[in-house]
Amino acid sequence: MLQLVDVGRQSLDAYKPIVGTEIIEELRDLAKPLKGLKVAHINATPYGGGVSELLRSLVPLEKNLGLDAEWRIIFGQEPFFKVTKTFHDALQGAQHRLSSEEKDTYVTYNYANSRELKAADYDVVIIHDPQPAAMIETMEASHKTKWVWRCHIDTSQPNPEVWAYLRNYIVHYHRVVFTMQEFVPPGFSRAEVEIIPPAIDPLSPKNMELEPGMAERILSWLGMFPKEPFVTQISRFDTWKDPFGVVKAYQMAREEIPELHLALVGSMALDDPTGWDVYKELTELDRADNNLQIFTNLTGVSNIEVNAFQRLAKAVIQKSVREGFGLVVSEALWKATPVIAGRAGGIPMQVQGGGGILVDSTEDCAAAIVEVFKDRALAQELGAVGRANVAENYLITRLLRDELMMLRSVLGYSSDRKAA
């Protein structure tokens, strides 16, 4: 069998003080016909990135509602993850020509993982992102298992060749889920498409309340000087996140704010081998600038530390040029920290009505840093509006409701949706 991720136990009752009793009771009602349903969530890595964070919170809550939900990880070696990283980039618009060797590598690992899954043991299999998408190829027509493909990346302008190749597998799924309507690839008009944005868990270690004094001690332990003004970007070390543009914007902002620091915080994930190349280039910049610091999960940064960075930063930057959703935006806004972000993917929907400043260039980003730093009344207003928006639209209970509705629909149950 594929590796099982132990997610522990969580109770929906713990969320009542945040979202209210009515929403919790709605979730319990929606889950009643799904009790005992065997669900397998399949993805590529147990840590590093938004998908693993979503599943870490979602699966135990599904179990608390009576679903027999599991989270399992596919296996693979470097050649496979190099290919799937290429697929990921191509689906976000990068130029690439598929080789027969890449196709063979992709299919070989997917078939091997599929044999280990024993899909017939589940009522629903939810495949996350392109890495395991071809596992459905081995599904036997006699199996009653329902298959769902959940795409978390921006596929609004995919590389035509790579999308055409993956589409041959995707069309066999009973349901396909995208983050936004805009992410549905051109010409993909199947009725089985659903739109479900991600969400954050307000009770996770990354988002739970953390006193300022404790946050300062945590960052001091890492080697930061938390009383010095700083901005931060927290994401994978990926060119789509434009970390080099962030460094340039910070350098431009320092011309007006000499005491400004920048903390680049990243997670090295199992399924992203190119992250090491970006990390190496960034460390060379780090060595030349005492006010620039780089932190990773390999140097002591985990969820609590990220929580502290987001709470104490003057602003959180997410200067993506392509972005599936960017959970870090909602995470920062939940902490009432203003966000400066690229106008990409799911970011604008998170800052609609305020909460952040959208930028289209490095110069815009630098100007926004200076503006937020000098106008603290503006920063406080952005933070307050942003937190309210996240509370209404981007908490895990809303995501759980959407997932339950999707499962009910896939299985043919009533899909009447109550107001949140």
Each domain of the chain, given as residue ranges in start order, spans 3-199+396-410, 212-393
Name the nearest CA neighbour of 310 among 248, 369, 263.
263
Query: What is the C-alpha end-to-end distance of the chain, expressed in Å?
Result: 38
- Tell whether domain 3-199+396-410 is in CATH 3.60.15.10: no
Options 3.40.50.2000, 3.40.50.10320, 3.40.50.150, 3.40.50.800; CATH for 212-393 is: 3.40.50.2000
Task: Specify the pLDDT at position 404.
Answer: 98
- Within 204-339, residue ranges assigned H as helices are 212-222, 243-253, 275-287, 303-312, 327-334
Out of 38-47, 89-98, 114-123, 188-197, least confident range: 188-197
Amino acid symbol at 401: R
192: burial class by Cβ within 10 Å (0-12, 13-18, 19+)?
Answer: middle
Percentages helix, strand, coil for the chain (3-state, rounded to 5) are 50, 15, 40
One-letter amino acid of 185:
P
Per-residue pLDDT tens for 243-267?
999 999 999 999 999 999 999 998 7
pLDDT at 272 over 70: no
395 secondary structure, DSSP code: B
Structure confidence at residue 324 (pLDDT):
86
- Residue 156 pLDDT more than 80? yes
3-199+396-410 and 212-393 agree in CATH topology: yes
pLDDT of residue 415: 52
**Across the strands, what pairs with 128?**
150
What's the rounded Cα separation, in Å, for the pair 18 and 93?
39
Burial degree of 78 (CB within 10 A; 0-12, 13-18, 19+)? exposed
Rounded (10°) angle between helices 78-91 and 100-117 = 110
Global confidence as pTM: 0.91
Q: Across the chain, which distance is largest between two alpha carbons, in Å?
A: 67
Question: Does the pLDDT of residue 395 top 90, yes or no?
Answer: yes
Return all residues near 288 (Cβ < 8 A) that are at least 6 apart.
Answer: none
Whether pLDDT at 97 is above 70: yes
Of 265, 400, 382, 274, give the one whose Cα is nearest residue 328.
265
Average pLDDT over residues 56-82: 96
The pLDDT of residue 354 is 82
